Amino acid sequence: MAVKTAKIKMWLRVENNNKYVRGKKKVRESIEQLLRSEYNLRQAHSNSWEYEFDVTYTTVEELKIRVDDIINTMSLEADLNNCFIECDIRCDELDLTW
């Protein structure tokens, strides 16, 4: 099968678990660095919560699994720093949402 590339759009919110902890800036920077290096992350405009990145895949099922893995990785990074994430992720060309 041919390798395809999906353009993924994401809205990402990072928040601290409570008012006594800090770390959401560090978490956002860490997530951005990871996605920038592996998936060509682009921010819609500076200080925006909207992003685009590219994911290669051969089947739609593989794409779904890869995006689920990305979400789990972002969530784990936030959890390790006493934060949490909320995200809306979509692929318009394949009409998929996460």
Q: What is the count of structural domains for the chain?
A: 1
Question: What does residue 83 show for φ and ψ, rounded to 5 degrees?
Answer: -130, 175
Task: Identify the domain containing residue 63 by its residue range.
Answer: 4-97
CATH at 49: 3.30.70
pTM of the model: 0.92
Across 83-93, average pLDDT:
98
User: For position 25, what pLDDT does the model report?
Assistant: 94
Please state, as a whole number, how many other Cβ atoms lie within 10 Å of the Cβ of residue 52. Answer: 14
Burial grade of 76 (CB within 10 A; 0-12, 13-18, 19 or more): exposed
User: For position 39, what pLDDT does the model report?
Assistant: 97
Mean residue pLDDT across the chain: 95
Query: Cα(10)–Cα(43) distance, rounded to whole angstroms?
Result: 9
User: For position 7, what pLDDT does the model report?
Assistant: 98
Share of the chain above pLDDT 70, in %: 100
User: For position 44, what pLDDT does the model report?
Assistant: 84
pLDDT tens figures, 31-77: 999 999 999 999 988 888 999 999 999 999 999 999 999 999 999 99
Across 13-26, average pLDDT:
92
38's CB contacts (< 8 A; 6+ apart) are none
